[in-house]
Structure 1
């Protein structure tokens, strides 16, 4: 009896928890919701229809009074900055054993031996040398891998902004440009080889990332549509404030 009662209680609790934590379906992306917005869907569509690819590129790299940089460049920096820090930290962590071994063979180890009487100073000197080596390695790795990844994202975002759509081929083009620039010093053949390999890597990464964007409704056309709507709303609010200030000045003059 007790076991049967426990089983029934478990089933009831399981049903209640499953109902409570049942995940709702994902909302439809790019679907206009009737909110308290002064901008209609037709106004946004008309604005985008009048745009050109060069105009979108000019806006992408232009100064924005409200946010300093455009939303497209913000996307690039929000992905490139963590990748730069992460790559620097990983490479510096992998460098630590070899940096310690190099220190044991370096002339600075003799100074540490000379300061055996003061072990605290010797350890501080040793760790200062190791930390300096690790910081130098992290900076070089972050600059190299971060610049490589930033170049891929920048070329991809520029092409996506110009054509107003997302595609894995844009990541491949960014990888080819980044690989060629990385091997610029080594000659033409090295640039071609580096561009080919990096272009293939960019194609694989771009294909996986494009599927992610497509799944969650975050492709370039949808992102640009939302950005245009936000910009039009900001412009409408500024215009309303300007008109209100003009009306106030007129009433003050009349009074």
Structure 2
């Protein structure tokens, strides 16, 4: 590095306090001596370390950021905890299966409906396709020696057989899977909402009861065997689901906390108890003109 470049760099740093200029060359007397640098540091540009003292601009930005956070979250932690202590498991369960003030269902019921609809659609597509293939193979096997009057009549009989078999198989399995999904999610979500806690327990109980109900045509022994198998499988699957929910911070207690916070915010907004972004004071509702 030339002396002119070093002089310009030192001249630009004279007015700055507590600044240190690290020179990439270790034998230059104009800069502070530093230990021998590596090849990578030697090829890099000089590094300038600024003082840690906050400036006035930083203080103003920090104050504005803190003020904006305080004005947005105008529901305190104490208010949320008091609201949650007053409610019971029965109250949470009643709210789950009731509509809100705008006629919408709770997030739990919407989740059950969404998952059931998607599962039913996927099941119908898969089972109807498989049923159509089986119907085609069965039709060809049964009518190898059959002589049709026209080619169109043979093709029409084949298509009718495939369509009817696809519709019947798809509808049958869609109803079964939909009932299974509604029962499993309904029981597990109800237990989680009542306890206000997510754990593998609700999935184990939900799958055990659902499996027992599906085996009711086999008698008490079949229901007992299905219930035990469903309980064990629900415990294994519920552990994986609970782990994913905990990692994503989507457990029942966290979701209910956010729901209570939104409810209290809507109540304060309806009463006009809002916080002014400029002064931090509460805004009273204005009379209608």
TM range (shorter): 0.7 to 0.9
Q: 1:173 to 1:244 in 2, by over 3 A?
A: same
Structure 2: runs of 5+ lacking an equivalent: 1-68, 274-283
Query: Cα deviations across residues 16-72 of structure 1 (Å, max 9, x unaligned)?
Result: xxxxxxxxxxxxxxxxx6562432232222111111011101111112232521112
2:79 counterpart (38, 43, 47): 43
Corresponding position of 2:264: 232
> Is the 1:115–1:122 Cα contact (8 Å) retained in structure 2?
yes
Q: How does 1:20-169 map to 2 (within 5 A)?
A: 34=70, 36-104=72-140, 113-116=148-151, 119=152, 122-169=154-201
Q: Determine which structure has more spread, i.e. the larger CA radius of gyration.
A: 2
Give the whole-Å Cα distance in 2 for the aligned partners of 1:176 and 1:34.
47
What is the total number of aligned residue pairs between the two structures?
211
> Is the 2:197–2:251 Cα contact (8 Å) retained in structure 1?
yes
Structure 1: runs of 5+ lacking an equivalent: 1-32
Tell me the CA shift for residue 139 of structure 1. 1.5
Q: Which runs of 4+ in 1 moved over 4 A?
A: none
Q: Would you tell me which structure has more helix in proportion to its own residues?
A: 1
Q: Which has the higher contact order (CA 8 A, sep 6+)?
A: 1
> Is the 1:91–1:138 Cα contact (8 Å) retained in structure 2?
yes
Aligned CA-pair RMSD: 2.7
Tell me the CA shift for residue 177 of structure 1. 0.8
Corresponding position of 2:253: 221
| More divergent stretch after superposition (40-49 vs 188-197) | 40-49
